[in-house]
Amino acid sequence: MKHKSDKRERFKYKSNFTSSRQMNYPKCPICGKNIRDLYSAVNYSKTESPAHFDCILRELKTTYDLRPDEKICYLGNGSFGIVQFRGPDSPIRFFIRKRIQYESAEKKPEWRKKLPFNSAM
């Protein structure tokens, strides 16, 4: 037999739960859509606000001329790189042709400081 207190606990939990529709997500300055995952967002250099990772990647692809054997990859710590892939006969499979430091390594953006668990970022 269930107790009334069990039922109250369930409703208490549901009332504290915030629906994704109620959250106020920031808008991406590039595409204008809501950013639902701020942990994967990148600090947009022109506005110092969060932007979709994929939007930044698309912008970098249009900014830099890529050869057919090259891609732009995320290298970590706010930097991207133009990576050149070598053929199967080469002892080196890929080569970072150019490093692009997109986010400042020293200065953490204000919006990222407000995220929970920001010490891991």
For residue range 87-108, what is the model confidence (pLDDT) as tens digits?
888 788 889 999 999 988 778 8
Q: Is the pLDDT of residue 119 over 90?
A: no
Q: Specify which residues 84 forms β-bridges with.
A: 70, 95
40-71: per-residue pLDDT in tens?
Answer: 999 998 888 999 999 999 999 999 999 999 99
Average pLDDT over residues 66-91: 90
H or E element: which one contains 32?
Answer: none
Q: Report phi then psi at 49, rounded to 5.
A: -125, 165
Residue 110's pLDDT band (boundaries 50, 70, 90)? confident
